[in-house]
Structure 1
Amino acid sequence: MNQKNPLGLNNCFLDLDNPIELFKVWMDEAKKSEPNDPNALSLATSNKNNAPSVRIVLLKEFNQNGFVFYTNLNSQKGNELKENPNAAMCFHWKSLLRQIRISGTITQVEDSAADQYYNSRGYDSRIGAWASKQSKELKNRDELANSIKEFRQKFDDKDNVPRPKHWSGWNLTPTRIEFWLDGDSRIHERLNYTIDKSGNWIKSLLSP
């Protein structure tokens, strides 16, 4: 029989006032059980006309200030975030039968943070950030291969590849975080956190 926390939920929800702390616990467990990319998430954005789009990206950092991922700023998601800074994330871990939904507003990270992460990437990934005009139409794959070759020649010192100005990170500052656990007969368990005007997290249970 599953243990229950004070709210009557499965004990995996713990009894924490700060959802970032609970997110860390669930992410640490996912790192042990997920076969690939436990930090993968669906990122939903929309443009100035409110047309939505979604794709998978990788979470690279999180703390009390938010959730960070990196991308080409001129990609579809980059352009949409410039037009509409509201976004949402969804993590789904099949191995744990758990899901976390996060919504909030997006801001670009500081250049120093982007530089630090960019410089931690492998040489090929750094070259790729220069060579790929992300989301733009290609005539063929040779066009991309030739671009990669050109930037390999331009930046032949693997220890000195500067970060492109069009490549950086985005930080999602959450206003709502929901934790979800699969339940028998689709009677799922849902714990929702929303932030009030004073910056305090308010917990509530949601019906499945």
Structure 2
Amino acid sequence: MSEANVALPAMRVSYEAGALHEKSLADTWHEQLQGWLDEAVEADLVEPNAMVLATADAEGMPSSRTVLCKGIDERGVVFYTNYTSNKSHDLQQTRVAAATFPWLGLQRQVNLRGTVEKVSAEETAAYWRVRPRGSQLGAWASPQSRVVNGREALESSLNGIERRFSDAEQVPVPPHWGGWRIRPDFVEFWQGRPDRLHDRLRFRRDDETWHIERLAP
């Protein structure tokens, strides 16, 4: 057994960076989430808009991966991906997802879950226009989640796409690519506290009304 494995039971951090009180919450979950995201940016955290996305297939087999949040408003949280990817197949089958923003540097996390919907073609196009050209070409070149015959196959595909759009001033949006929006029913804001008595405040939707609840840590 390695020294690192022996040390695992003793690894712990005393969370003393702050507290979360009901009176300090924003009026809405999305304003609170945007505020915490702004603070994560100001703290210079790595990839502050990264969130761990959890899905499940029709048989209930779960999967998780990290994606980048590209939109927050009263409708939900948005990310973009290939519509033929494994995550999109899961979402098309079950129409539900969960996500976690792990802001460990601030001893915070936000957990949300709800139903999903595709964003409009207009919203997808607006985001597509601000993506780097290399990322646009990569979206065309990569058959996301499929088995490929080595790195060379991907690079060959990219080279072909570069030639295809070499004279195009604007690379078009692939028909198999776009955004998903998670429309949350629950959004939990978690702030680490000493002795594992963490603060957990949750926005819970009941029809069109949101309620704020404190959860035991």
CA distance in 1, matches of 2:22, 2:107: 11
In the TM superposition, residue 16 of structure 1 has moved relative to its aligned partner by 3.2
Q: TM-score, normalised by structure 2?
A: 0.88
In the TM superposition, residue 13 of structure 1 has moved relative to its aligned partner by 6.8
Letter in 1 for 2:135: S
The structure with higher relative contact order (CA 8 Å, sep 6+) is 2
Structure 2 residue 209 is matched with structure 1 residue 200? yes
In the TM superposition, residue 11 of structure 1 has moved relative to its aligned partner by 4.8
The root-mean-square deviation of aligned C-alpha atoms, in Å, is 1.7
Match of 1:57 among 58, 67, 80: 67
What is the aligned partner in structure 1 of residue 96 from structure 2? 86
Q: TM-score, normalised by structure 1?
A: 0.92
CA distance in 2, matches of 1:102, 1:159: 39
Structure 2 residue 143 is matched with structure 1 residue 112? no
Unaligned stretches of 5+ residues in structure 1: none
In the TM superposition, residue 95 of structure 1 has moved relative to its aligned partner by 1.5
Match of 2:196 among 180, 183, 186: 186
What is the aligned partner in structure 2 of residue 98 from structure 1? 108
Structure 2 residue 145 is matched with structure 1 residue 132? no
8 Å CA contact retained: 1:34, 1:93? no
Residue identity over aligned pairs, in percent, reads: 35
Match of 1:42 among 52, 59, 73: 52
Aligned residues: 201
8 Å CA contact retained: 1:34, 1:95? no
Secondary structure in structure 2 of the residue aligned to 1:25: helix
CA distance in 2, matches of 1:163, 1:111: 9
